[in-house]
Every structure is written in structure tokens, then in C-alpha cells.
Structure 1
């Protein structure tokens, strides 16, 4: 290896030199790739380092053999073939020196001296010469082989060029043939169209001939098409007994077809799982029903894809839409908790995912924006009731200001079929109070004129006319009408038109800014500037209502009412839209992954509300209908089942209908079994509820007796002035016990309503309240009970819970007996009517029942 021939591999000597220079195996591997002129990957470096580690041991043995003269030459380590690469290296000199006896360098100036040759050195020199000769011959041989390969390569190139020319000619020929076939195909397609048209004309002609013949039965059973037609008629609201007549009438109309029976939902697929009877409406029951229904759906999944269908379904659920009821929120939490437990088993590589990646797959909960509008009514009515209390000084129920009675009476007396709280009109949606108020305000003068001309002798019209003249009623109608035009209307359009539920944040920010402005400057409400200008599109015919509202200048009392309403509105909207305002989960820029995974969420749950309405209609019109049939009617109506069934071929449709009819017996048996289980569950829950109620009553009685025993020592005080006498010169502990006894007696024995939140909580973080705080609370309780400074106690009475109808001339009002209490020696009965609470002596109610001015509804049934 010293005659100048390039080395194509790494010799053991060169490998040892690299190891001595670089120390580490990995560094040696990198140096080897550097010698080859390559930039290796990390896995290639590791592979090379592993080989180097094994080769170094062999290199040491080779070195020892060369040193001892056992091996005539250095060998290659074989790393080139191991890595699949080729080196071109300058030959590495073989170090044949013996370190224990170094050969001295010859002197610079000395007479020629013939060196003494030892036998070992001469042998090594001969070996080197022989190796050099061999390498020379090998080099010549390689050069010859290279020339042969070049010659063979040139011949291959010439042969491939010849083949390429042949293929080019064949390709040109094939192109010509393809063009010819394409022209022939076009001709055949034209002929096929003509043939198809002729076939269709023949089929139409044949269908026209047999159109008057319809086979409703095959043997003793109706055909599948007949069953499908009956189901379609059911879905369209045709009663059972009318189906035969309808089919006969339709049969007379040859060539007439209905259209537009199915309304598209914008491409969003919303489906119902079904309907189930349950023992209670708890969140756990709802979750169990949903889990069981998903397990039953897995029967329709092929065996290869079944796996754990329910777990995979929950893992795929990215968000829910619901209202804010406590039961529904607990149900959402149970879904989220179950989903989190199955994600690691359903999603491959869950453990390898980063926290940020797992966070993008979290569960999202959205709330229906229609409920925001519906519940906003109570917020405004409560603020108006507070304003009316401040202005008039009268006691007004929280949610029943006088303006609400006016709106209800106008709807009842003047609306089309509105005696049932205007539920029949399509226009009266969830914010009907606001919408009606704007109409009443617009037509107020016309209503008064009608009452003056036609209302003589009718007390309800006379009373309504008096209420329409009240300034506070006019002012509140004005405010409600403006809220209809500027708040609830835009919010409804936002819920209908928002492209993605997370886009709500922009509109909510505008709304909150506008509400703050109206709170600080109440006159801004009467300017007509909408909170959300981009959505303020007034429906045709409604312009006059807004013009009328803006034409009336506000009074000082109106401005005070607006300030109260907007303060309550601001708190309400900030609470309900907390996820979309700055600092909320969906404020600012939302991650694209979250946006994509929640794209299925709608802004409202109007679909399920419509399903509730459909089920309610079924219960009203057919209360004894089987649950399975009621569920079928619901699914057919809401899931567009008939449209799906019509899209199937005749064979598929027949198979589906026959399979469904064959399962009727099984469905009835399952329903019978489920009904028995439901009865047992209801009975058990009733027993548990009764047991819990009895335990609760026993605890209340025990606490009440304890409160009575505790106060017997001190006596019951009914005035603030008596507190000093109660405390007297007692010790600090006795004074505290006396105050606690008075408060507990009012809470547990008298059941006094708390005038402020937490007033009956007599400790703070485990510490007793101070004497001053206890005295303050007792003063508040005494002052709040000025109407009943006499001892009051609730008593059991058979009238409690009964429904009573009160008659005023020709108008009736239904109420419920809420309680019977003994105030002094007189028992008083409290009846809650829609217009307010009535408290009268029991003797007065009994005499009124005898006279006929009151009726017990249970006795009328």
C-alpha cells in the first residue's frame, strides 16, 4: 500500500490513528464520513460508531501480528462495504518500527557507512516490495477492468438509444390509435344518448299506461311502498282515521305532485338520538340513558369498526350546546369527565402529545343565546318593579310591575287567539313582552279611544283604560319598546346569523359598551342608536314603531328607570357573556384548531326546543300513544327520515321497511319490559324521596323544638327597644346566647324570610360572631317583620297546596294556596295569584267559597 494506489477502504492502521486523534467512537465515525466527503445523518453516525467499536479490537490484534511478524501487511477494516460507501484515500503508511528499539536517524554529515542489516528487517523489506508489486499489478488490473466497463457502458448506451427510438415510433402509433378510438367513443356516446332517450320515452309511455294500477297489498299484508306512504302522511300531520280518505283523494289527481316538503338546514346535520321515559330528570339518569342509547347504536356498526363505539363517540365530541340549568350543567360536566377518562385509550400517541396539543383537544361548553334573551325579560321586569316601588312607595312583586299586567291584558283582550298568553301567534317569540310593549305604546291612544267608546259596563276594559293613563305605565312601555328595537332584536339576529359561535365576542363588546353608555347617560337610549349597528335591520312595516318611540321625549322618571334597567342589564350580560369578553376563554384570537373543532356548535338550541314542542303536541293530542310510536314519529319528523328513505333504491327501501316491520314484536316486548323497570324505578325513587323528606321534616321539627326551648329562658321580643332589657347585666356568654336564641327562633320556628343574604349564618369561618353583629342582625330581623309584630307561626291545614279560582264579575283568576299561618289568634291563608299574593283570614275564604266568589278547582274536576 505504498506504490501510490488510492485506498478504497479504511485500514486498521488508519483506524487506530483516528482513534488516537479523536478518542471517542462517535468522533471517529464523523471523521470517517469526513474522509468520504459525506454529511451523515445521526442514525448513520451511530451505525458507524458501533462498527468502529468492534473494529478497534481487531485493529489492535492486527497491529500485534504485524509487530511480531506474523502478518506481512496491514488489512482493511471493511467499513466501506458496511456503510455502502467508497473511499479514495492516499495510502496510509504502515508503521513497522519497534517502539522499544527505535531506529536512529542517520547523521547529517558522515562518511557512507553500509548499514548492518538484520535478518528481520530484510524480511520486512522484501515483504513490502512484494506487496508493492502486488498492488501495482492490482492497479493495472483495475485500470483494465475500468476500461472494459467503459466500453460495455458505451455499448449499453447505444443499445438503449436504439430501443428508445423504437419506443418513440410505437408511442406515435398508439397516439394515432387513441385519437381514432376517442372519435369512435364520441360517436357511440351520441348513439347511446339517442338510445337512452328512446328508452325513457318508452318507459314513460309504459308508466302512463299502468299509472292507474296501484298494488297496495301483496297477499294479506300491505306493500312496503304503502307503508312508506302512510308514514309520510303521519309525518305531515294526517290523522289515522283520515289516511284512507286522503289516499283516495290523491289518487284522483293524476300527475299532481307536492314539492318543498323538506326544508334544508344550511348543510348542518343535526340528528336526534331518540326519546326515553325516565324515573327522574337528574343528570345521572340522563347520562345513563345517553350511554345506553350509544351502546345500542353500536349494533349498527360493522364488527371490524365496532371496538368500543361509545368511548370513540365521546372522544369525538368536541363541544355541547345547552341552557344554564343546574341539571344541564352537571350533565355537561359528566360528559366532559367521561370524555377525559377515555381520551388516552382512544387516541393513539396520547402520552407522547405535549400539554399544548392535549389542550387543543379539550371539551367546550356553549350556552344557548335564545335563553339569554328569554331570561333578560325577568331582569328588566325586576328593575322596573324596583323603580315602581321607589316612585309609588307601594309594595310591588319582584317580577310583576304594573306594565306587565297592562301588556298581558292587552294581549288577552285584543290579540288574535291570545287568551292563552299569546302562545298561538307566530310573531310572539321568547321576548314577547318587549315586542308587545312596543305595539301597545304605538297603539295606546287608539286603545284608549276604543275603551272610552266600547268599554262602558265592562270592568276589565275600564281598569285597563285607567292603567294606560298612568304616567309610570307609559314610561315603562316606552322603555320596553326601545329595548325591543335596540337590544332583543339585534341579539336575536346575532343568534341567527353568526357564522361561528366564537364570533360572538365582537358583537358582545359593542353591546356592553352601549349598555354602559346608557347606564351613565340614560338619555342615550332615547337617541335610537342601536347597540349593534351592523345587525340593526328593521323589518318591513316596523319603521313606524321605532319612529313613534323616538318621537316621545323622556321624563326624569324615565331616565331614572333606564339607569336601573341598564345597571341590571350590564351585570346580566357580563355574567352570561363572560367567555367572550376580554379575559374570557374565547376573547381575542381563538386558535384555528379550536375554531375548526367547534364549527359544529350552533348559537342556539332551537332545534331541540322544536323537538320538545313536537313531543308536547304528541302528548296533548294523543296522550295514550305508545312510547315507541311517539319516538318513531319524532325521529321521522326531526331527522328527515322520509327524505333519506326516498333516496334509497326500491330494493333497499323494501328491505329496510320489511326489517323494521319484522322487529315490531321485539320492540313491543322491550317496551313492556322497560315500562315495568320504569315503574319499579319510580316507586323506589318515590320511597327514597319520601324517606328523605321525612328525615328533613324530622330535622326541622327537632331544630324548631330546640329553638323554642332555647327562647323559653329569655322570652320572645318583638321590638328593638326590648333588646336592652333582654341583655340586661348578664355575662357576655349569656348575652350572646340570648341573641342567638332570638335569631334562631325567627329562623326555625317563625320561618321568617331573610331580609338580607346570610343573615341566619351565625359564624364566620368557624368563629362566632361578635355581640354587636348579632345585635345588628336581630334589629334587622325585627324591623323587617314590622307587619307582624305579633307572634306568627305556620300551621298545617288541608287547604295548603289546593288550587283556587277567584271570580271578579265575569273574569276569573286561578291561584294556589301557598301557606296558612296563625298570626295571633287569627289563621291567615296566603294565595298566590298571577297578579300577586292575596292574604286573607281562613274564615273569609271559607265564606267566599260558600258564596261562590271562590272555587276550589279540585272540587270542579
Structure 2
């Protein structure tokens, strides 16, 4: 093999998923088949240097292909892998062809970090520009930035903030790139500067699942009125319970039993599959991943469809020899939970499923406006119109006029009458309609009447032609990254970035389209640039590490400051309560108040007792309002509690502590302190001799102390002070 052809061969083999350590053996094997003997095979280190050049080649492709593409769309998203924060940037052109611009590690997921990382990528594209003559005034990276007209992301606050920063940065760069910018009037400049910010339609599915689960939880709670059904009758089965609706619990536990690979210990997936095969059915249960698009609704459908066979299987075929199987067997017979599963199934088949297919179908993103409005109008009507809700449940009405196909067994089973269950399904569905409507009205407001993208102008339609209806591209890139990390967990982010960019952007095919002389020159340049990119990558990682150390120091300082303020606050409260004394029984409470003459002093003393017990002693009480100094009146305004009400609250807290042991118990590693003379050091540097009188009732670490030449009795956490070395025992009284 000619030496000059070796880099191209290595790069192409790596793009065909040949592992780095196998590339030389593959070359040798092919040479043997061809009857050739290679003079020298590249080492692993040499191969890695050649692979580093892939990212430089990919940047040249981007600068070449996207230089003439206008009104492009930028897709961004962030993920965490092995503790690293990674961000990907992808661009689509008017043909909706996508190009990965980069996959980079960041300090954190803040909008500023996202923009700084994007600037790095633009600089790298400029440095590796395909054009032989690079014009400093018209850099390739900045031209790419100016061609961006749309953004697509999820609705995370950091993504929204990034969109604002990106638009401002782009506005600064436009005068440097567009000729005669100053000759444009204000309206033309504003039109050029404006960007369309779109948000992922598929992420609506996750939001719809979340709000439906919350609405279902409230519906079940109101429907049951405190009664137990299904597995709730058996305390030993409560270990499968979480803060979720019974329907979601049934779906989750049913997946553990019936889904392959979910629960190998307590599940029965293989026996279930065998049983279904005999019945001529397929297993619809898959692993439960709550955050996956539409999954909860699909699994609700599966649970409802398999309800009869699942019950027969658990009761008469396999048996219920553990708690998980018993719980599912009991819950899957309950009409309320089956109504929830049926409601989820209907929403999957008639709302979210068709909406998903529309979002993934070809077409302009703003074509979704009319479909979003259809859904909203249907939900609004369905909330109040019981007849429409009934028709929805029997499949004759839906937002998208879905046909009830006789070939769809699942849908046929859903719309088939089930008297006991349907009586619950109709009001349940109306509750879910309300929850979905409230969510969509907030999230897709830009696509509804009066919104930014409702009835768009021709310019907006043309400039947003490149935008997809969803932000699935970054998820696809992260999926590729997961596969690479499983295969090579120690590979650097740069290596994975080069693999993903070269593969996704079809750089190998673009390279093959160049003439031979140009191709060789490009690869030679890229070999050198790849080495520089590796050095730059290490330098950036070092900068990130320095920034992480700085952030860690700042957090440490913040924690120290918080601790200082906490101690200062505790000291202030301790000083305040020392002035009045810590009242530890009813007599002390009465005596303490009796010596105070004014209402103001009594209020201050009682508030000091409450503050000290809440903040310093950290006394717990079921009624958190017991520590309040005011209450909400009938007119919706706060009024101060009376002296008697404050006194009653303090008295209640005192009585609670007296229920606990009031004498000191021996604890391993801690000496008894009551009756001992101590030396007590304070933060001001002074050391006082004192005598420990007793333990504060209800608080085993707090003691009452009387110091020499001071008649007052104080309460301090002596155990904590002893651990800090601020307290020592001088004499133990006999």
C-alpha cells in the first residue's frame, strides 16, 4: 500500500467501525489475501493520530457544504456521562439534511458555558476552513453563525437563556459579515437579526404523561375516599407503593412481572411468554422507563389488553408465590385501575400516538399549528361535554378523526363496551383532558391563535423551512455516544466527537467526491491540524479543570459563610434566650412571664423561646404552624398572635419534651456531665468554670449550666462543644 494512501485507509476503516487495535491486523489480512506483504504496519499511536484528523476533515466539510446554506436551524441539548457535562450542536439545511457541528465537554450546563463552547466550535471550523485563502473579515465560523435563522431545543431554562445569548451574539457579528450593513434601514436590520426559537414537539409527550399521572392520582384519591382496594388491603404488599397513582403502580409492577429483562428474581417473563404463545398472542409489556416518550400510555394500553390473560396466568397457571405477583394479581382485577389503564390506552391511540406521527412526518414545522389547535379545541369541549367524552371512549370522536381499523386488535379492545369500567372511564378521561389542556395551552402558546407563529408571514415560512418539528437529533447523537462509551469507556470526548461527526455527516462520501489531488492535499493538512486539535483539546480540558477547582473553592467559601451565619444566628438566639432563661417546665414559664411587666417584653420573651426551640434545639412538632408569630385572618391578611396564643404554643412544646426521659443516660464514648465541674471555652477566647446542673428535658445533648460568679442558669450543647475540644471536665463531684 502506498504510504500516502495509508491515512485514508485507516480513516475509512475506523468509519466502518473497525476498532483501533484491529486496524493493522485487518490491513495485514487484506494484504495477505491480495498476495502482498506490507512494508510496515502503523502502530496504535500512529492510528490514533490519523483518527484525530477526522475532526479537521469534518470541519472542512462543514465549512464547504454549509457556506452557501442560508436560513439554517441549530439544535442543542445537554447530557451528563460519567460525571461530565456534554453539549452537542447540530445544524439542518433547507433540505433538512443534518450536520453535527460538535460534541464538547463543558464546565457546567449554564447558558454562558453553552455559548462559550459554541464559540469554540465556530473558531475550530474557521481554523480548519476548506477554502485555501481564508479571509479574516469573513470567517467561515461566523458565516455559519449568520446563516442560522432558527433554534430548536427543549424547554429547559438554560436552553431558553442560551437562545437569548446566541441571538445577541449573532447580532454583534452580523455587521462584520453582511456587506453594506449600515446601509440597511432599521426594519431590514431587525429582520436580519431576528431568530425563530422553536421547542421540541416530542417533549410534549413527557409533559402530558406527567400531568396525567398527577391528575389520575387526585382522581383516584377522591374516588376512593380513603378506602383500600386491591393490594392496599395487605400491609406486607405496601413495599411496592410509591407516591403515585394506583394505575401507574399497576403498570410499573406489571412490567416487572411480564417484561423481559425487568425483574429476573421475582418476575415471570419467560413463563408468561410461553403462556401467550399457546394463546396466539404477543407480549406487549416492555421495560418501564417513565421518562420515555408516550411509554406510560402505551404500557397502560398493554395492561388493559392483557388484563384477562394476566389474571388467568397468575391465578391458575403460574401462581403467586411472591409479593410482587400477588400485588399485580390483586390490582389487575380492580375496575378503578383498569379504568386508568383504559384511559391511558385511549389517549395513546387517539391523541398522543397520532400527534407523534404528525411530529415525525415530513413537512413544515408551522403546519403543526392547525393540529395543535385541533387538540386544544377537542380538549376544551371534552372537559364539559360528557357526550363527547363518551364518544371518545367508544372511538367515534377524536381530535384527528382517527379511523377505527378492524385490523387494530388493541384499539378494538379499547373501544369495546365494558360497563363496570366505562362508568369510571368517562369522568376520568374528562379530568385528564383538563390536565392536558392546561399544559398544552401553556407550552404551545406560540402556535395557537394570537401566538408568535400563528398565521406566519411569508418571510417566516421561508426562513423556518429548515426546522424539524422536534429536537430528536441530539438524542440520536447521545445514543451513538452511549454505544461508543460502552464499547470504549476510556475514549476521550475528542475521539468520540470525531467518530460521531465523521459518521453522521457522511464525511467519507464527501471526501470520495473530491478529485484525487485535492483529497490528498486535504488529508495531509488535516493530519497536522488533527495533532494541533488534540493539543488544543488537552489545553481546554486543563482550563475546565482549573475552573472546576475555582468553582469548588467558591462553594467551599459559601458553605463556610453559611455555617458562620448559622453559628452567629444560633449565638444571637442563645444570647436572647439566656437573657430570659430557657423555660423548661410549666413553673419556669409562669415565673419567667410574671417578672415581665410590659406586653412587649412578654411577646419578645415568648418569641425568643419559640425561635430557640425551632432553630437551635431543632425541636420537631407535627404542627409546623406552632412556631408562627402570626396567622391568616378571614380577610386574607396576617395578624399577630396574642400573648396567650404564643404562651400556649410554648407550653405545648414544653409538654412534648417532658414526655421524653429527663435524666442523663450513659452513652458509649461520652462521659456523664451532670454534676461535673467543667472548663468551657467560648468563641471570644474566654474560658469559664461552670457546674452542670441537669440535662435539658427532651434534648440529650443540651445541658443547664451555672458559671462561677454568675447567678443565671444557661443552656448549651455541651456534647458538641466537647467534640470540638471547647469543653473539659475538671472535677467530678462525689
TM-score of the superposition, structure 1-length normalised? Answer: 0.55
Is 1:412 the counterpart of 2:256? The answer is yes
Shift in Å, 1:223 = 2.4
1:403 is aligned to: 247
In 1, distance between residues paired with 2:425 and 2:583?
Answer: 45
Residue 825 to residue 383, structure 1, CA distance change in 2 (3 Å): farther
Q: How does 1:69-218 map to 2 (within 5 A)?
A: 217-218=1-2
1:594 is aligned to: 460
- Determine if contact 2:631/2:641 at 8 Å carries over to the other structure: no
In 2, distance between residues paired with 1:434 and 1:585?
Answer: 31
Shift in Å, 1:559 = 3.8
Q: How does 1:265-664 map to 2 (within 5 A)?
A: 267-299=95-127, 300=129, 301=131, 302-304=133-135, 306-344=137-175, 346-347=177-178, 348-350=180-182, 352-355=184-187, 358-359=190-191, 361-390=193-222, 391-393=224-226, 400-418=244-262, 430-452=293-315, 453-497=317-361, 499-522=363-386, 523-524=389-390, 525-529=392-396, 531-533=398-400, 536=402, 542-553=408-419, 554-587=421-454, 589-664=455-530
- Determine if contact 1:736/1:774 at 8 Å carries over to the other structure: no
Count of aligned pairs between the two proteins: 548
TM-score of the superposition, structure 2-length normalised? Answer: 0.63
Shift in Å, 1:339 = 2.4
Residue 683 to residue 351, structure 1, CA distance change in 2 (3 Å): same
- Determine if contact 2:93/2:466 at 8 Å carries over to the other structure: no
In 2, distance between residues paired with 1:349 and 1:374?
Answer: 44
Task: Give the 3-state SS of the residue equivalent to 1:533 in structure 2.
Answer: coil
In 2, distance between residues paired with 1:477 and 1:739?
Answer: 53
Task: Give the 3-state SS of the residue equivalent to 2:16 in structure 1.
Answer: helix
- Determine if contact 1:318/1:364 at 8 Å carries over to the other structure: yes
Shift in Å, 1:606 = 0.7
- Determine if contact 2:252/2:288 at 8 Å carries over to the other structure: no
- Determine if contact 1:406/1:464 at 8 Å carries over to the other structure: yes
In 2, distance between residues paired with 1:346 and 1:755?
Answer: 65
Shift in Å, 1:275 = 2.1
Task: Give the 3-state SS of the residue equivalent to 1:570 in structure 2.
Answer: helix
- Determine if contact 1:515/1:570 at 8 Å carries over to the other structure: yes
Shift in Å, 1:701 = 5.1
Deviations 1:480-533 (A, max 9, x none): 111111221122122112622222221111111111122213534414245432
Bigger-Rg structure (1/2): 1
Structure 2 segments unaligned to the other structure (5+ residues): 35-91, 229-237, 268-284, 660-696, 702-734
Residue 455 to residue 498, structure 1, CA distance change in 2 (3 Å): same
Shift in Å, 1:402 = 2.2
Residue 771 to residue 406, structure 1, CA distance change in 2 (3 Å): closer
- Determine if contact 1:482/1:546 at 8 Å carries over to the other structure: no
2:66 is aligned to: none
Higher mean alpha-carbon deviation, 546-555 vs 682-691, is at: 546-555
- Determine if contact 1:482/1:526 at 8 Å carries over to the other structure: yes
In 1, distance between residues paired with 2:577 and 2:519?
Answer: 79
Higher mean alpha-carbon deviation, 432-441 vs 516-525, is at: 516-525
- Determine if contact 2:446/2:452 at 8 Å carries over to the other structure: yes
- Determine if contact 2:98/2:505 at 8 Å carries over to the other structure: yes
- Determine if contact 2:342/2:414 at 8 Å carries over to the other structure: no
In 1, distance between residues paired with 2:396 and 2:608?
Answer: 55
In 2, distance between residues paired with 1:321 and 1:521?
Answer: 36
Shift in Å, 1:343 = 3.9
CA RMSD of aligned residues (A): 4.9
2:543 is aligned to: 677
1:843 is aligned to: none
Shift in Å, 1:407 = 1.6
- Determine if contact 1:315/1:346 at 8 Å carries over to the other structure: yes
Shift in Å, 1:351 = 6.2
Shift in Å, 1:379 = 0.9
Residue 308 to residue 495, structure 1, CA distance change in 2 (3 Å): same
Residue 449 to residue 609, structure 1, CA distance change in 2 (3 Å): same
- Determine if contact 1:373/1:430 at 8 Å carries over to the other structure: yes
Task: Give the 3-state SS of the residue equivalent to 1:603 in structure 2.
Answer: coil
Shift in Å, 1:433 = 0.9
- Determine if contact 2:255/2:286 at 8 Å carries over to the other structure: no
Deviations 1:432-466 (A, max 9, x none): 11101101100111111111120242332122111
Shift in Å, 1:614 = 1.3
